[in-house]
Amino acid sequence: MILFVDNEHESSHDRPEAQRLLAARTRITYRLEDITGDTCLLQRYRKVTPELVDRFGIRAVFISGHGAEASLYDEGDRTGLREVIAAGDTPVFGFCGGLQFIGETLGMALERIGRIPDGEDDPYPQYQPGWRKEVGYLPVITVADHPLLEGLGDEPVFRHAHTWHLPATPDGFVTLASTALTSVQLVAHESLPLAGSQFHPEYWTDDHPDGELLIENFCRWVGLI
């Protein structure tokens, strides 16, 4: 069995897009099952503990992003998930906010990419207005050789939706892909089965299929498939 962690704060369930978000979580769960050929358990972040991982024999953990501000979370609700990451013996892949959560767990402080200067147009004012951001299906530049990048070429395309980022590569990790705005787009640990992307590979499409291959590559790298 594998685990997909819904890392979204419950306050987001009151937003107009809540039903679409919840439906997407279900779809991603099925996608992870299809890739791995294993049952995927969808679980809220506050329910995840090392004991749950042991009880269900979880072979890998995938962590979703989130739209809620980090200040809304009760840190005690995420202690169990942090313990799973810090142990380093269960493969973990964090998507967007999931990568940021891994970085925070291992001692890295998050930062906004930055404000849009006065007088400069905001290309996506409907999303986090006033902040620099990456939104939509955009390329990243691969900057290292690694099994996660097998078959993806120099500029694979993934879905982006973020204004926060890790300002530097966490200790023990290597950066595999970057963009001009976000230097840490994809990382993998040098010795542990931990990886994360600032973009959203789980939202691949027929026109932009690179996310599926990246997740498959991760599953091969950690021995799931």
Q: Where are the domains of the chain?
A: 2-221
Strands 40-44 and 2-6: parallel
Claim: this prediction has a pTM higher than 0.85: yes
The pLDDT tens digits of the residues spanning 107-125 come to: 999 999 999 999 999 999 9
pLDDT value at position 17?
A: 77
The pLDDT tens digits of the residues spanning 25-60 come to: 999 999 999 999 999 999 999 999 999 999 999 999
Residue 144 φ/ψ region, left for φ over 0, alpha for ψ in the -120 to 50 degree band, beta for the rest: beta
Tokens, residue 203: 């939202």
What topology is assigned to 2-221 in CATH?
Rossmann fold (3.40.50)
Percent residues over pLDDT 90 in the chain: 90
Is pLDDT of 13 > 90?
no
Per the model's pLDDT, the better-predicted residue between 24 and 70 turns out to be: 24
Of the candidates 193, 203, 200, the residue with the CA atom closest to the CA atom of residue 224:
193
Least confident range of 11-15, 124-128, 145-149, 180-184: 11-15
